[in-house]
Amino acid sequence: MIQIAGIVPLGTSMDYESPQTRELGCWNAIHDLQPVIDGYTSKSPTPDFAPGDQFSDFLIDIGFGKDCPQDARQFWRDTIASNYAGDEGRRRIRMASINLRDRDGLHNRLSDIRCPVLWLHGTADVVYSVKNAEREIKMMLNSPDAKLQVVEGGQHFLSFSHPNEVGRALIDFVCKYEKDAMADPSVRSNL
């Protein structure tokens, strides 16, 4: 049996895209993604499909922030355009959008977490709010140590906007629990 020694979520939500998350300041995935889904639905092949900068900038703005450096913005515009080109790309981008909009929640499973949790969340995350993270970390009732660490100015893609803070937190977390994990034979045998 493989045992999970710890969990480190970054800028996420354990809920589906529910009305309650929107009340707590999270994005409105249903509203934001429906035009994408509708616009990328086609009965006929679209061999010349390209998502365009509007879609790319939407993803960049919510993930990296509106102040994303121009060179990073252009890199992701080019990458998104290349990845989602043609009819197959259009279908994949549509499915990815549907999956984000319609994903299910994990609230009923959070009390089953029995390992340490360090949740890192940025104050500038426009997708999921700190208030939502504060609510959800409390649902991990059986974790021996569930903590939320808020990163001032952190974006949704927290490891991009604040790599040093994320790196230090990960190292501290691993070092704190490494000894306990290594003492457990089931963890040691899976290394």
- Across the 191 residues of the chain, what is the mean pLDDT of every consecutive 10-residue run? 86 96 96 95 96 95 96 97 97 96 95 97 98 98 97 98 97 87 54 43
CATH 3.40.50.1820 fits 106-188, yes or no: yes
Q: Is 118 helix (H, G, I), strand (E, B) or coil?
A: strand
pLDDT of residue 1: 58
pLDDT of residue 181: 59
Asked if residue 86 lies in contact with residue 117, where contact means CB atoms within 8 angstroms, the answer is no
Q: What is the DSSP string of 4-68?
A: ---B--BS--SS-S-HHHHHTT---HHHHHHHHHHHT--SS--TT---HHHHHHHHHHHHT-TT-
pLDDT of residue 191: 43
Where in the chain is CATH 3.40.50.1820? Answer: 106-188
